[in-house]
Amino acid sequence: MQPPGVIIAATIGSVAGAFILYGVGRLPSRERLMAFFDTKPMRLLGFKGDDISSAIVWFGRTGQVTVLICRCIPVVRSLISIPAGTTKMNVAAFALYTFV
């Protein structure tokens, strides 16, 4: 395969994977996430249900910039799709920042 074909295929695969993780983030409700993080194992790891509310509020204010910046950081570039889905970030904006 020629380099342009490889670049196009990699871009399509990356965007498709980001949308799958975005969908995973949309599945649980805020209440369900808070209940999960209030379980004993999560509390032992230092999490609290209130952390979810704080994170969702923060991501709601800075989500678009956060997605754009985190796309440049290995590992985080995939995981940032989950909070974007959880906060129900605008799909068009998510697609734009993911593609860029």
DSSP state for residue 29 in the 8-state scheme: -
pTM of the model: 0.77
- 48, 27, 64, 37 alpha-carbon torsion, rounded to 10°: 10
At residue 64, the pLDDT reads: 84
Q: Is 39 helix (H, G, I), strand (E, B) or coil?
A: coil
Tens of pLDDT along 48-96?
878 778 888 888 888 888 888 888 888 888 888 888 888 888 999 988 8
Task: For tokens 């974007």, name the residue.
Answer: 84
Listed by start position, the domains of the chain span 3-99
Query: pLDDT by residue (tens digit) across 24-55?
Result: 889 988 888 888 888 888 888 888 878 778 88
Task: Please tell me the predicted confidence (pLDDT) of residue 22.
Answer: 92
pLDDT digits (tens, 9 = 90+) for 2-32: 999 999 998 899 899 999 989 988 998 888 8
Reduced DSSP (H G I as helix, E B as strand, rest coil) percent helix, strand, coil of the chain, to 5:
80, 0, 20
Contact call for residues 15 and 98 (beta carbons, < 8 A): yes
